[in-house]
Amino acid sequence: FATKKEAEAQVQEDIQITEKIMHQKFGIPFLPMKRPDWDRFAGAEYTIGSDVFMPDGKLIQQPSTHMMGQKFSKVFNAKFKNEQGKENYLWTTAYGPAMSRILVSVISMHGDDKGLVLPFSIAPLKAVIIPIYTSKNKEKVLKYSRETEKKLNALGLNSEIDLSDKRPGEKYHSWELKGVPFRLEIGEKETKNKNFILFTRDTGKKETLKDLRKLKKLGEEYDKRLREKAENSTKGKIINCKTKEQVKKAMKDEKIARVNWCHTDEKGVKCAEYIEKQTNAEVRGT
């Protein structure tokens, strides 16, 4: 970038990108925090990390953005010419998307005792079709199942028919374990009435579905529920503390302690070490 202002605008855009992808698309709420100087990216002027409060009461760092300033530009002699033809050092930033950590958060935040619960927007398979038939109606049920798969794929909803030899109950369990958002059960009755029994992974509810086009809207509602559930799980987790004992209690209760702090520059290192030793808490930032 030509100016510090432009570089800092990129840092803010990085945070917005994190919000759009991690929170809005993946359904994971996060806390953007400016790291103290002793915990910033090496060589950066400052670092802003995005922390997620996990179900086990711990924080995990997700995407982080770094205002690198001109330090690396000067080391590598990276310059540009401005409109007046004068050479200046570049202003640089860095962004770490942390995709593997985001996926870990998706598994931990949305999953349940039955297995994965994948957001509809990122699930590679939107729906699985389970044909339920006897030797007498097998041909008709499978034909309708294949027609259904073809229609779903034409709508941009990647689907698959489970043609394994497993019993229906085993198939249900297997696909719930994999986190597929929707299951369409098709038997003789559904084949005759040209509808489906729809099972929704996050609620566990079943309903009759007639129009496959509604599945996109139901998928949006599905993602909204996951996002709101994750948001609700983090509400009330930040506790204002004034004493060491209050911080200890916050850690014991698996909360985040918010305190007044001495320094976020190098002068605060001893304070951070003391707090960690006395309360088993780690200073994350402001």
**What does the alpha-carbon distance between residue 173 and residue 14 come to, in Å, rounded to a whole number?**
39
Return the DSSP state at 89: E
- Written as tens digits, the pLDDT of the chain (286 aa) is 999 999 999 999 999 999 999 999 999 999 999 999 999 999 999 999 999 999 888 899 999 999 999 999 999 999 999 989 999 999 999 999 999 999 999 999 999 999 999 999 999 999 999 999 999 999 999 999 999 999 999 999 999 999 999 999 999 999 999 999 999 999 999 999 999 999 999 999 999 999 999 999 999 999 999 999 999 998 889 999 999 999 999 999 999 999 998 888 888 999 999 999 999 899 999 9
**What does the alpha-carbon distance between residue 1 and residue 234 come to, in Å, rounded to a whole number?**
37
Looking at residue 247, its pLDDT comes to: 94
Looking at residue 264, its pLDDT comes to: 87
**What does the alpha-carbon distance between residue 3 and residue 59 come to, in Å, rounded to a whole number?**
34
Within 122-268, strands assigned E span: 127-131, 159-161, 182-186, 196-200, 206-209, 238-240, 256-258
Fold topology of 127-232: Rossmann fold (3.40.50)
- pTM given for the model: 0.89
CB 126 within 8 A of CB 158: yes
CATH code for the part of the protein at 4-110: 3.30.930.10
Dihedral sign of CA atoms 239, 245, 251, 257 in order: positive
Question: Nearest CA to 129 among 166, 171, 169, 170?
Answer: 171
Looking at residue 204, its pLDDT comes to: 97
Within the chain, which residue ranges are assigned CATH 3.40.50.800?
127-232
Buried b (16+ CB within 10 A) or exposed e, 26-59: bbbbbbbbbbbbebbbeebbbbbbbbbbbeeeeb
Looking at residue 269, its pLDDT comes to: 92
**What does the alpha-carbon distance between residue 275 and residue 173 come to, in Å, rounded to a whole number?**
46
Question: Nearest CA to 275 among 253, 246, 255, 254?
Answer: 246
Beta bridge partners of 88: 80
| Run of H or E including 255 | none
Within the chain, which residue ranges are assigned CATH 3.30.930.10?
4-110
Pairing of strands 238-240, 256-258: parallel
CB atoms within 10 A of CB 276: 12
Structure tokens at 48: 């802003």
